[in-house]
Amino acid sequence: MTAVAATLRTAVANGLANRNSFWFQVSLMVANDITWIIFWVLFFHQVGNLRGWDAHDVIVLFSILLTTAGVALGLCANSRKIGQLSADGALDETLTLPVPPLAHLLSTRVDAANTGDLLLGPVVFLLAGNPSPERAAMFLFGVVAGSVVLIGFLVACGSLTLFVGGRGEQADLGFNAILIFASYPLDLFGGATKMLLFTAVPAAFVTGVPARLVRNFDTPEVLLMVAVAALFALIGWGTFHLGLRHYSSGSIWIR
């Protein structure tokens, strides 16, 4: 475990090495996020209420999304890159070290821009989320569990590249799908789509259920989140390790 923690610390140091560049990227991301908040404000200004959701609710949802994405894409920036790294033969350096490969990969890169999300998310929650100790606790829990689900999902999508080849296009699609769906209130979707969001594309567990938990603490839902997080962690870990057997390193010219 110390090796992984040391790696993460080094990755942060590497990302922060150029202070100016780091803060510049963070501010770009923050500006980007604020645009979305403006959109929602304008939207609800016109539309009013949306199946029980108002601007305030959606902004809380958004703060959860930001923080969770910040962890998955900012701190563990390689979670979304597994497909590309596999195709490029870039797993070599990890595989020559005496470390658990997935843990190492996930701790070895920190993305400055997405770290901006990680910083802004809690701020938005504090400002717009009526933070009480219970709500804050659920926010934290939701973010942690949601991050595990998101990372597990992204790793699984990326690991498919090890099996089917290509350059990680399926991973990109999965990535876009889950983030787009997670940006909108769950209650907008009905029937088949909603089913999808609770299963194959677990956007519901990235923002939907955590947002519900922030509104109302509910033990069964907490346990459900824990179970789903464990499940996706296992799916991600499993697909990756099974995929390693098919890893072809730098031989992409063959494909």
Partner 1 sequence: MNPYLAGWRLGFLRTIRSPGDMSVRIGFFAIILVVMTALWTAAVDANGGSLQGYTRTSLLWYVFAAQTAVLGVRPRSVEEIGDEIGSGTVAVQMLRPVSVVGLRMSIDMGEACARLIASFTVGALITWLFVGAPPSLPALGLAAPAVVLGCAANIASCHAFGGIAFWLLDAKASWFFFQKLVFLPGGMLIPLELLPRPLELISFALPFATMAYVPGRIASGHPDPLLLLWQLGWLVALLAMAGAVFAAGERRLQVMGG
Partner 2 sequence: MIAIEARELRKTFPVRRGEPVEAVAGISFAVEAGERLAYIGPNGAGKSTSIKMLTGILHPTSGDAAVLGIVPWKKRRELAARIGTLFGQRSQLWYQLTPRQTFGLLGRIYRIPADEERRRLARLGELLDATQLFDQPVRGLSLGQRMRCELVASMLHAPEVLFLDEPTIGLDLVAKARFRDLIVRINEEQGTTILLTSHDVSDIEQVARRVIVINHGRLIYDDRVSVMRRALLGTKMLDVRFEQPPASVEVEGARLVKLSGAGAKLVVDTDRRPIRSVLDDLLDRYDVVDISVADPPLEEIVSHIYARPV
Q: Which residues bind partner 2 (CB under 8 A)?
A: 2-3, 6-7, 10, 13-15, 17-18, 90-93, 95-100, 165, 244-251, 254-255
Q: How far apart are CA 203 and CA 208, in angstroms?
A: 7
Q: Rule CB under 8 A: is residue 200 a binding residue for partner 1? A: no
Binding partner of residue 216 among partner 2, partner 1, none, CB under 5 to 8 Å per kind?
A: none
- Which one among 10, 14, 18, 49 touches partner 1, defined by CB under 8 A? 49
Quote the CA–CA distance of 133 and 86 in Å, as a whole number.
43
- Alpha carbon distances (Å) from 24 to 29, 71, 116: 9, 19, 10
Q: Is 199 within 8 Å of 232 (Cβ atoms)? A: no
The helices-and-strands tally (H runs, E runs) of the chain is 13, 0
Between the alpha carbon of residue 78 and those of residues 39, 83, 236, the distances in Å are: 30, 9, 13
Q: 47, 95, 195, 227: which one contacts partner 1 (CB under 8 A)?
A: 47
Residue 192: CB atoms within 10 Å:
8
C-alpha to C-alpha distance for 48 and 59, rounded to whole angstroms: 14
Q: Fill in the per-residue mask, 153 to 192: x = in contact with partner 1 (CB under 8 A), - = not in contact.
A: -------------xx-x--xx--xx--xx--x--xxxx--
Picked from partner 2, partner 1, none, the partner binding residue 188 (CB below 5 to 8 A depending on kind) is partner 1
**Site for partner 1 contains 42 (CB under 8 A):** yes
Per partner kind, with CB cut-offs from 5 to 8 A, the member of partner 1, partner 2, none near residue 51 is partner 1
The option from partner 1, partner 2, none interacting with 169 (CB < 5 to 8 A, set by class) reads partner 1
Stretch that binds partner 1, among 20-28, 70-78, 129-137, 150-158 (CB under 8 A): 20-28
Distance CA 233, CA 202 (A): 12
- Cβ 78 to partner 1, closest distance in Å? 20
- Residue 241, classed as helix, strand or coil, is helix
What are the φ/ψ torsions at residue 53 (nearest 5 degrees)?
Answer: -105, 140
Tokens 């567990």 sit on residue: 205
Q: Does 199 bind partner 1 (CB under 8 A)?
A: no
Specify the residue, 7 or 68, whose C-beta has the smaller distance to partner 2: 7
Binding site for partner 1 (CB under 8 A): 24-25, 28, 31-32, 35, 38-39, 42-43, 45-51, 166-167, 169, 172-173, 176-177, 180-181, 184, 187-190, 193
